[in-house]
Structure 1
């Protein structure tokens, strides 16, 4: 090979390297301009350089797709009705490009559910194609499919497809159970955060600005999940009433009576819908307990015992169920049921203990707080030494009622009214003035708690 040829090759290599280097520099410069504008939401200036990076340097940074999505969503929000579908389509394309170039930084549960929601909101494709995106998200990456609105849309589409004859009723029930459990787990997580910060405030410790923000966000998200759960229950509606459940399960019983999973689901749904008077419920429970004695079968045997007015036997079965139960939400429901039985018997102290156990496993169970508040308020006259301390019992009842509304937004209105009623019966500002130096009141009898004198 002569010197001239070698020179040409070497020159080509240098020029090629220089070209690649220049392109990399150009990508970095253009991206920097685009990102700086996008950070301050100056999307008009960000759009041209951002799309240039997207086209010429698609693998430069995932930020291109993150800012691009924010830009397009801002456009979508302001767009006229006739323009929305095209912009939504572009967002979907951008999401798919992100997954193509940055699969490790793209969550499938988020991507597919986002695409499904965009299609649903903007009437793109069929119900089947919209549902398919949500179904991919749920089955391939359930952990990252958790936005309340998207969970509702997914379930709503499934029910609509059932109504069109494309999905089985049993499938509707199965998805309902799964999504409800997911929502209740999120509610418990958020309620635990709220309860923790609320107790800190009630103890007289001020929250930091960061803690206040966390408390506020937890409340907002808890409200969203509460609304979605109510919406899902409404969507399920009459499809899960006894009139539909009994013939469905009667028809399936012969073939399914050895299927433990099916028996649990059928008995659970009939119990939840209070279809327990039908002979089918006894058949389901009997078959379930024979196939696999468990927390569920013990719980249902407890229900049947109570119907026969065998309270002691019923409580025995419920306690067995609680001990065997592994799911926190279900364990909480059993403890709450025991609390209800004890409350009806007038055993307030033991009832409160079981309500507290329920709250331990499901912090979002606001009804348990209301039950405790009710029992405390009803004991005001018997748990104080004088007029002031007797009326102070209502402050404690008020505190419990307010907690109910904080951990369960669906009870907020009821809890607020109940708390206001208790507050009206508690000592007034004049009563506090006439009892100087009292900052706390120790409440006796079965209550055995201390309540702080509020600053009125």
Structure 2
């Protein structure tokens, strides 16, 4: 082979390798400059080098898109109304580019949820196209739809489409069930963290800085989901009232009475909306129990038994339902219902046991803590040996009331007022001073717990 020709090829390869190396070095240098500015939120200085990396080295690093998203969100928040749509569209483009170049590090649920929310917030597209993005997120990757706001907007848009005649009422009900399940699952995760860390604090163990941040963040997320749940229920509004449910399901019954999924949904919705006095509810339960005896049918039979004042029969059905139920949030509801019956009968110890079971399966059920607090407070005179120990019972009641507000932000105001009321009835600073050396009080009778003497 011609020596001159070989030399030319070698030289070309050297130049090509040198060019690639130089480009890689340039990408690294430019990216370093952009990222350093972005880290300290100096987005004005970061913008030019960041977009250079985005254009010339799109696969260099995921950080390009992470910082780019923060930069554009900051820009969007500060922009004049006339400029927002343009910036919002650029943010959507960036999110799609991230998926294009880093698909394995981009969650479908997060991406399409974010795009749908941006479109909704900035009036981009139609209700149909906004809904389509959020629907893609939900149907393809529901587990990674992590922003509470996305969940609310998704449901809001479906109701709007229904009101325009583009979706059936049944579609709204079906999505409502899924949304509430998602919210309650997320609430339970955060409430469990809060309950565990709160109990650790109450035991006298100081939380680490990491645990404090975790507690604070969990509280904020839980609060957001609580607001979303309230918003979803408000948006559903009269659509799910008995006056709409009864005629809807009455009209569908003959055609659907052998459809197990339909029977389950109809019975569940009528039960949750207290439409159980209507004869249709009995027909639904009877048909469902015949077609598919389950935890749900046992629960509904329990409701009907209570209406006939057959309490022991009702409790028997409820316990069967709880044992058969596989869904944690529904198991919690059954246990709560049993606890309510037992509380009304005056069986406080047993009632507390079932409230605790409810909390085990749904840690965000703050109402259960309030019920326990109420029973404890009402037993103050019976569960102490002297004035100090009797009044100390209120400290325990106060602790339970405060937990209610921590795991369920919607109860924060009620829980705070209830706790303050119990605190006012507990031993004062003078009482504590007159009982030196007492660091905790063991409470007897059905309560059987120990409460620490607080530092007032």
Into which bin does the TM-score normalised by the smaller protein fall? Answer: over 0.9
The Cα offsets for residues 408-447 of structure 1, whole Å up to 9 and x where unpaired, read as 1101111111111111111111112222222221111111
Task: Please say if 1:310 is aligned against 2:306.
Answer: no
Residue 67 (structure 2) aligns with: 67
The Cα offsets for residues 57-100 of structure 1, whole Å up to 9 and x where unpaired, read as 11222211111111111111110011000000001111111111
Q: Distance in 2 between matches of 1:428 and 1:38?
A: 53
Residue 373 (structure 1) aligns with: 373
Task: Please say if 1:300 is aligned against 2:306.
Answer: no
The Cα offsets for residues 196-245 of structure 1, whole Å up to 9 and x where unpaired, read as 11111111111111111111111111111111101100000000000000
Residue 189 (structure 1) aligns with: 189
Q: Distance in 2 between matches of 1:58 and 1:267?
A: 53
Residue 142 (structure 1) aligns with: 142
Q: Distance in 1 between matches of 2:391 and 2:14?
A: 90
Q: After the TM superposition, which segments of 4 or more aligned residues of structure 1 sit over 4 Å from their partners?
A: none
Shift of 1:301: 0.1
Q: Distance in 1 between matches of 2:387 and 2:32?
A: 72
Which is worse superposed, 111-120 or 433-442? 433-442
Aligned pairs for 1:271-282 (under 5 A) are: 271-282=271-282
Residue 39 (structure 1) aligns with: 39
Tell me the C-alpha RMSD between the 2 structures: 1.1
Shift of 1:13: 2.4
Secondary structure at the counterpart of residue 66 of structure 1: helix
Q: Distance in 2 between matches of 1:324 and 1:271?
A: 18
Q: Distance in 1 between matches of 2:179 and 2:223?
A: 17
Residue 22 (structure 2) aligns with: 22
Task: Please say if 1:207 is aligned against 2:207.
Answer: yes
The Cα offsets for residues 107-163 of structure 1, whole Å up to 9 and x where unpaired, read as 111111111011001011100000000011111111110211110001000110011
Shift of 1:6: 3.2
Secondary structure at the counterpart of residue 296 of structure 1: helix
Secondary structure at the counterpart of residue 128 of structure 2: helix
Query: What 5-or-longer segments of structure 2 have no aligned partner?
Result: none
Q: Distance in 1 between matches of 2:88 and 2:61?
A: 22
Which is worse superposed, 152-161 or 31-40? 31-40
Secondary structure at the counterpart of residue 381 of structure 2: helix
Q: Distance in 2 between matches of 1:22 and 1:97?
A: 24
Change (3 A) 1:421 1:11: same
Shift of 1:5: 3.2
Secondary structure at the counterpart of residue 382 of structure 1: coil
Secondary structure at the counterpart of residue 115 of structure 2: helix
The Cα offsets for residues 247-304 of structure 1, whole Å up to 9 and x where unpaired, read as 1111111111111111111101000000000000000000110011100000000000
Aligned pairs for 1:341-420 (under 5 A) are: 341-420=341-420
Q: Distance in 1 between matches of 2:50 and 2:442?
A: 66
Q: Distance in 1 between matches of 2:246 and 2:170?
A: 13
Residue 250 (structure 1) aligns with: 250
Q: Distance in 1 between matches of 2:210 and 2:204?
A: 17
Query: What 5-or-longer segments of structure 1 have no aligned partner?
Result: none
Residue 48 (structure 2) aligns with: 48
Residue 76 (structure 1) aligns with: 76
Which is worse superposed, 289-298 or 391-400? 391-400
Residue 268 (structure 2) aligns with: 268
The Cα offsets for residues 382-406 of structure 1, whole Å up to 9 and x where unpaired, read as 1111211111111111111111111
Secondary structure at the counterpart of residue 141 of structure 1: helix
Task: Please say if 1:441 is aligned against 2:441.
Answer: yes
> How many corresponding residue pairs?
456
Q: Distance in 1 between matches of 2:217 and 2:349?
A: 34
Aligned pairs for 1:148-163 (under 5 A) are: 148-163=148-163
Q: Distance in 1 between matches of 2:374 and 2:25?
A: 70
